[in-house]
Amino acid sequence: MLLEVNDLHVFYGRIEAIKGISFNVGEGEIVTLIGANGAGKSTTLKTVSGLRPVAKGTITFDGQDITKMPAHKRTELGICQAPEGRGIFPGMSVLENLDMGCWTRKDRKSAAYKSDLERVFELFPRLAERKSQAGGSMSGGEQQMLTIGRALMSRPRVLLLDEPSMGLAPMLITQIFDIITEINRQGTTVLLVEQNAAQALRRAHRAYVLETGLVVKTDEASKLLTDPAVQAAYLGGA
């Protein structure tokens, strides 16, 4: 497995947000974590990326224990997160935001950099059209594209996506998920946290259901999509 999380416990002060979850992500997969607000999905991603400390348990990436590794070192290894709420630099241009995504790379401005930039612009043609525009002046959908594009500029082996459809119109949600599927098809492993469980389960290979900091169910995503309990809790009974 590319990414393995074992018996993970995470606290906010005295409150235990993650209560001993275990999951794994194989190279080339899309794995999704679904659950209600407050289930611990975003906290899990932040912990994998190094933004939250581990109280107990281990995180292993490509056979290496990274439990205590700082976030920037994890990025250098190939773990990169597109955060909830987008987190772009609003006063910087699209191109400058994308440049920030590869600040740890030693080949900036090389042929490899240009190739990666072209890939981002192929995935997100709107960013190419607006590369000189300030990120903060773009629409929510365009900012989400920029957030994912910035993450891709670090050449991630596993891309952590936190609520990529949040606040987007239905047509844009479908477009964003089409692009996520294409990113995976091109070889990038994806760990996805998403409130839109139906879209997530349709795109993912496997899924874990979180409730109050615990994994309560796991299976192939296609099977969970038709699971009556999952349908009733997360898919509107559909």
* DSSP notation for 152-203: HTT--SEEEEE-TTTT--HHHHHHHHHHHHHHHHTT-EEEEE-S-HHHHHHH
**Distance from C-alpha of 219 to C-alpha of 49, rounded to nearest angstrom:** 24
Last residue in a domain, options 109, 131, 155: 155
Instruction: Give the total number of structural domains in the chain.
Output: 2
Domain range for 107 is 88-155
Tens digit of pLDDT for each residue in 184-232? 999 999 999 998 999 999 999 999 999 999 999 999 999 999 999 999 9
pLDDT band of 237, cuts 50, 70, 90: low
Same domain, yes or no: 236 and 169: yes
Please tell me whether residues 50 and 138 are part of one structural domain.
no
Same-domain status, 23 and 136: no
**Residue that is last in its domain, among 155, 187, 207:** 155
Mean pLDDT score, 8-18: 96
Give domain status of residue 83, yes or no: no
pTM of the shown model: 0.93
71 shares a domain with 13 = yes
Residues 41 and 95 in one domain: no
